[in-house]
Amino acid sequence: MIRGINSKRGWALLSAVVLVAGGCGASSTPAPGTPSPSLPAAATPSPAPGTPQAAATQAPTIAATPVPTEGSTVPPSSEPSPTEVASSGPQASGMPTQLGPGEGAVKILAWPGYVEDGSTDPTVDWVTKFQEDTGCTVTFDVFGTSDEAFNLFKAGDYDLISASGDASGRLVDGGYVAPVNVDLVPNYADVVGALKDQPYNTFGGVHYGIPHGRGANLLMWRTDVVTTPPPHWSAVFDPASPYAGKVTGYDAPIYIADAAVVLMQTKPDLGITNPYELDANQFAAAVDLAKQQRPLISEYWSDYTKEISSFENQDSVIGTTWQIITNLLKAEKPPVPVKAIKPEEGSTGWSDTWMLSSKSAHPNCAYMYMNYEVSPPVQAAVAEWFGEAPANLKACDLTTDPNHCKIFHAQEDGYWNNVYYWRTPTVDCGDGRGSVCTGFDDWLNAWTDIKG
C-alpha cells in the first residue's frame, strides 16, 4: 500500500485544508506529508504544563540492561538494573526484560509523516524533543509501499519500522523483526484495546510491535454525478454499472480483499468470514470479481494525489478512498462535491505497528522511541498531520482540531467492528481449517493477472 507521499500538489492544498466542511464533518487535517496549519509554531507538540499527559513526552526512565536478541551487535550494559516488571504477555527467548541507557542513535524506516523533525515544515517537529530528552539521534528514511518497506528493511540496518498489516507478517516470517516486551513501553497501557493482540502485531501469542494508528478504506462518489447514494461496495463491482470507465480502485494485491468483502454479502454460501483467509475456492471467486471489475476501472491509484486529480477532472466519479482524500476534495476552491461512507457490509482498513529489527544496533533508543510515538501529545500531532485515528485515545483531548477524533471515529468502538485491517495472507488460514488458504505470493501473482 502507499500512503502519505509528499508532493507539490499536497503543499498547494494546504491553504484550503482548514476550510473543510460538509457531510463528513469539518477537519483541519492536511494531507499526509503536507505542512500542517494545526500544529503550534514551537517544535514541541506537548500539552500545557500541568496536564496529566505532560510527562508522557519523556522517554522511559527505566534504566537497565537489555538482553540482546539473536544477532544483536550491542553488548550488555554494565549499568545497574532496577527491579524487573512482570510481562503482560508471553516472553520470547532473548526478549529484553529491562532497558539500559540509550546508545545515542536510532535509525527508522517509516511511512511519510510518522517521523517529522522539522525538515518537511519547521512547525512540524516531534523528533527534536525526543533527541533532547534521550540523547538518541534520530535518522530516518521513508517508503511508498509495503512491498518497498519490506525490501528496504530486510536489506538495511534499521532499528525500527512502521509496518502495515500487509507487511508485518512477512517481516515476522522472515525473522527480520524481534518480539517486543510491551512492559518496556509504558504508554502501551493507554493504547486502545481493540488494536492489541491482533494477528498483524501478535504472533504465536507473542507481541511483535506497538500499535500506532488506524483508518478505514471508504467508498467515495461525486454527488453531482452519482445522484443515488450507493449503500454497498457492489456499486463499484457491478458489470452493468452506469459509471463504467469512471470507477477507481486501490493499486495493490491486498485490494483483492475488498472483493472478498463484497462476496461476504453477495455470496454468503462461499462462507467467507475473513477477507484475508481465503481457501482456493473463495480466492478464485474474489479474483474473478476483481477481474469482472477491471473493465469498469478508469485507473488504479496508490498515491492519494492521483485520486484527488482523478475526481477533480471526473476521470473517476466513484471508488475506494480514505477519509483524508474526501476532506481534501471538499477543501478545494471550489469544493469538489464528494461524499464517502463505510458501506453497510464493512470495509478493509489499516492499522500500523512499530516493529523492532531482530538485529537492531540500538534497541534501548528504539524502545524509547516506540514509547514516545504512542504518547498522547505525539499521537495527537501525528494523527492530525498524517490523517488517521490515534491508537492512544488520550490524544483526542490534545488535537488542535477538537473534532479530529470524531471525524476519524477514534472513539467509536462500533465503527471498527466490521473494518478488516490489512493482514499478510498466509497458507495457514488461522481459523482451524489448516493450511488450505492462499498465501501472499498467490495474491501477488493474481493481482498481476487482474491488471494485465
**Which tens digits make up the pLDDT trace of 385-407?**
888 999 999 999 999 999 999 99
In 340-428, alpha helices (H): 363-373, 376-382, 404-407
Q: Which residues of the chain have pLDDT under 50?
A: 1-90
* Angle subtended at Cα 148 by Cα 250 and Cα 135, rounded to the nearest 5 degrees: 120
Helices assigned H by DSSP within 323-403: 323-330, 363-373, 376-382
Tell me how far apart the 2 most distant CA atoms of the chain are, in Å: 71
**Percent of the chain residues past pLDDT 90, beyond the cut:** 71
pTM of the predicted model, to two decimals? 0.76
What confidence score (pLDDT) does residue 92 get?
55
| pLDDT attached to residue 145 | 80
pLDDT of residue 93: 57
User: What is the model's pLDDT at position 53?
Assistant: 33
Residue with cell 464517502: 340
Name the residue among 333, 52, 87, 115 with its Cα closest to residue 206. 87
